[in-house]
């Protein structure tokens, strides 16, 4: 959920001021990644640098997961892995017998993610990096990309067909390129990656494209899904697919600065529905 209000935040500093500082290796002080290292710019305007260092970034995911499904030894797909915080955190939680598949098509994010894998080899060996985007088709798609990691822009990179959450002028500094796309069903059919029991999706408005290309996977394996939905139209399309496949959905986190964005969990209908209100109250204690 790194894009939370990031376009507003990047205007807080002048460009020359941002360039005076550079990311540095810092030890994570809490959360699943405690004792591991990330390359972060703690003076950058994007909020998530400090939250990642403190281990509280998107903490609702890690508060919620143990109540949903066993995570030890699980296979997790991190779709839209950004610079790898969640991929590493999932790798820590699944343990030596688990596995994480990280999907990230932005080449600049990939470079930083690879640095994190190399610096944390005990977790990196549990992660397979796929430098492509999941979508509803196999081949290539146009992709809007930003190289600016530390001010948050790169996290807003998205497929051309996505329902991007910001106004079009917010992406004026982005360039357009081609990226490889593949469906989840193709990956499983070709046995290129292990099948997931948990999938986290954060793809800037392409949520329903990912699900459309994973309908055989979802219908047969019914993994637990953690999805950031970025746009009201994307929510409509996402729910249509999930309800048709027999999933129950609940909101687990709202984005207060973006009324069209929230984080949902989706579980098979035959599983006891997740009570997001109860979890929210527990987290306030």
Find the mean pLDDT for residues 2-20. 43
Q: State the pTM of this model.
A: 0.89
**Among 135, 50, 39, which Cα is nearest to 82's?**
39
Find the mean pLDDT for residues 166-190. 94
Residue 68's contacts (CB-CB under 8 Å, 6 or more residues apart) are 224, 265, 267, 274
Residue 199's contacts (CB-CB under 8 Å, 6 or more residues apart) are 76, 77, 79, 214, 223, 224, 225, 226
C-alpha to C-alpha distance for 122 and 254, rounded to whole angstroms: 33
Torsion angle of alpha carbons 230, 92, 49, 135, nearest 10°? -30
Q: DSSP labels for 42-54? A: TTSSSTHHHHHHH
Question: Nearest 5 degrees, angle CA 108-CA 259-CA 268?
Answer: 80
Find the mean pLDDT for residues 2-23. 49
The percent of residues in the chain predicted with pLDDT above 90, rounded, is 78
Other residues' Cβ atoms within 10 Å of the Cβ of residue 149: 23
C-alpha to C-alpha distance for 210 and 105, rounded to whole angstroms: 14
State the CATH architecture for 57-284. Answer: 3-Layer(aba) Sandwich (3.40)
Which sign does the torsion angle of CA 159, 165, 166, 168 carry? positive
| pLDDT at site 170 | 87
Find the mean pLDDT for residues 55-77. 95
């Amino acid at each position: 959920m790194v894009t939370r209000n990031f376009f507003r935040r990047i205007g807080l500093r002048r460009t020359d001021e941002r360039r005076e500082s550079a990311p540095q290796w810092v030890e994570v002080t809490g959360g699943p990644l405690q004792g591991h290292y990330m390359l972060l710019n703690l003076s950058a305007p994007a909020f998530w640098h400090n939250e990642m260092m403190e281990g509280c970034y998107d903490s609702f995911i890690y508060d919620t997961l143990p109540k949903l499904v066993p995570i030890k030894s699980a296979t997790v797909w991190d779709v839209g892995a950004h610079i790898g915080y969640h991929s590493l955190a999932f790798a820590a939680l699944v343990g030596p017998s688990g596995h994480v598949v990280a999907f990230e098509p932005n080449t600049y994010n990939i470079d930083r993610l690879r640095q994190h894998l190399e610096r944390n080899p005990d977790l990196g060996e549990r992660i397979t990096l796929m430098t492509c985007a999941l979508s509803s088709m196999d081949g290539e798609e146009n992709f809007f990309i930003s190289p600016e990691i530390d001010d948050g822009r790169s996290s807003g990179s998205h497929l051309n067909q996505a329902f991007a959450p910001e106004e079009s002028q917010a992406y004026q500094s982005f360039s357009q390129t081609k990226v490889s796309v593949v469906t989840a069903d193709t990956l499983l059919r070709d046995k290129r990656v292990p099948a997931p029991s948990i999938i986290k999706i954060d793809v800037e408005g392409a949520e329903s494209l990912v699900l459309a290309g994973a309908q055989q996977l979802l219908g047969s394996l019914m993994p637990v899904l953690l999805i950031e939905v970025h746009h009201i139209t994307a929510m409509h399309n996402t729910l249509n697919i999930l309800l048709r496949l027999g999933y129950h959905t609940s909101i687990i986190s709202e984005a207060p600065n973006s009324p069209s964005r929230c984080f949902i969990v989706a579980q098979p209908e035959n599983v006891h529905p997740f009570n997001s209100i109860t979890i929210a109250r527990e987290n306030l204690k």
